[in-house]
Amino acid sequence: MAAGGYVGRLLRVDLSAGTVREDALPADDVLRKYIGCVGLGVKILCEETPKGIGPLDAANPLIFMTGPLTGTPVPGGNNCCIVTFSGETGFTAGTAHTHGHFGPQMKYAGYDGIVVTGAAPRPVYLWVHDGKAEIRDASKIWGKDTHETEDLVKAEVGEHRASVAAIGPAGENLVGGACIANDKHHIAAAGGVGAVMGSKKLKAVAAYGRGAVPVARPKELLEIAA
């Protein structure tokens, strides 16, 4: 059972194998030490990135990670961090923050974070919803900008309330400073994260859920947030 503020599950996606699976979060003492988002994302990156790889190698993890306040009533509780081996520097951890609805929707869908490894043989997108995940074909939306991609993905999954994080042509063409955009007007703009996403042929991640974030002391949290 995860500590309050965490739903307790990671989604692991291997695009080379075309598989998705669930994994438990680390123990509570680890969560208290690294506190989600950048801390937990960098911990996973350091432990799971093979030595000697480059940012565009398939083995480089692309990690979408939330924090314990994401999806709670706390003002500004919508943070999501993207962690990977930097597509800008090529030799450091790259981190980028974004806001909007993507982080909360990922948690409402049942996951504190998504760890993507491998590279698809053709363009794909990931649809995460209510404890399920599907890898879907994105050939028809490859080449579209992020606004068009968001609209097309929402239409295809049939859920206009979904949040979509996507790359545009810059990410597809592995431009070093490429970003990931979500909810049209929020940008994960550092670390070359868009180029890493493009190297995996991952056009977008869409998330929607009807779950809730467990809170250890909901009354006290609401009092503090008021």
Of the candidates 117, 141, 112, 118, the residue with the CA atom closest to the CA atom of residue 214: 112
Q: How crowded is residue 7: how many other Cβ atoms within 10 Å of its Cβ?
A: 23
| 9-14 vs 19-24, strand pairing mode | antiparallel
d(CA 124, CA 134): 10
pLDDT digits (tens, 9 = 90+) for 171-196: 999 998 999 999 999 999 999 999 99
Q: pLDDT, tens digit, for every residue of 27-59?
A: 999 999 999 999 999 999 999 998 889 999 999
- Which helix or strand (DSSP H or E) is residue 116 part of? strand 113-117
pLDDT at 189: 94
Specify the pTM: 0.95
CA dist 226 and 223 (Å) reads: 5
What pLDDT score was predicted for residue 86? 87
Contact 112, 130 (CB under 8 A): no
Q: Residue 2: its pLDDT value, please?
A: 61
Per-residue confidence (pLDDT) for residue 1, from 0 to 100: 46
Phi, psi of 64 (to 5 degrees): -100, 120
* Rounded alpha-carbon distances, angstroms, from residue 142 to 63, 75, 80, 122: 21, 35, 24, 10
Listed as ranges, residues in the chain with pLDDT below 70 are 1-3
